[in-house]
Amino acid sequence: MFDSWEELENSLIECKKCKLCTNRTNIVFGTGNRKASIMFIGEGPGADEDLQGEPFVGKAGKLMNMAFDTLGIDRKEVYIANIVKCRPPGNRNPEQDEATACLNYLRNQVILVKPKIIVLLGSVALKNILGQEYGITASRGKWIEKRGIWYMPTWHPSALLRDESKKIDFIKDLKLVIEKNKEFIE
């Protein structure tokens, strides 16, 4: 594990731990407040993210930003990362070996950020962080506490693009996150 952001980021520059490195334009490390009380974790970068080197800047990211704006969440005040740091081809879900290769980078990000709340965006994030026994449909909207961190599984913003009815759940879940975060601030 690395003690500083600089060491962690430098360790990723030439990463070739999995086959995703062969087609990447950029490593999509993470963005936001490195001391945030709320961290969001998605599955992996898409085409726009790969080009810009920043998570959640494509269509799903724009939808997430709209939800943030609606609820008064400042994107610069949360930290946003993904399970994998390189784009899976065709925006497919990361394969287990790819996720496993990247998980120590993400764990180190969590250690450095020290969030009180982690929002798990979709099934890939949920299963890789909390375990394969968890399902997004059953877990969504329910707090799970482990080792002093509160986890809120919710729909991935890309799921909202495919099924607009999930937007209501997504907003409700983010409202729960805001309320829980207030408890930590007070």
Indicate if the pLDDT at residue 157 is higher than 90: yes
Neighbouring residues of 160: CB distance < 8 A, sequence distance ≥ 6: 60, 63, 166, 167, 170
Instruction: Give residue 102's pLDDT band: very low, low, confident or very high (50, 70, 90).
Output: very high
pLDDT of the residue at 73: 97
Instruction: Give residue 41's pLDDT band: very low, low, confident or very high (50, 70, 90).
Output: very high
Show the tokens assigned to 131.
Answer: 């375990």
CB 160 within 8 A of CB 63: yes
What is the pTM for the complete model shown?
Answer: 0.97
Compute the Cα dihedral for 111, 115, 121, 126 and give only its sign. positive
Domain tally, the chain: 1
Per-chain mean pLDDT for the chain: 96
Parent domain of 62 = 5-185
Indicate if the pLDDT at residue 1 is higher than 90: no
Instruction: Give residue 179's pLDDT band: very low, low, confident or very high (50, 70, 90).
Output: very high
Please write the tens of the pLDDT for every residue from 2-35: 999 999 999 999 899 999 999 999 999 999 999 9
pLDDT of the residue at 112: 98
CB 91 within 8 A of CB 65: no
Question: What value does the mean pLDDT take over residues 79-100?
Answer: 96
For residue 49, which phi and psi values (nearest 5 degrees)?
-65, -40
What is the CATH number for 120?
A: 3.40.470.10
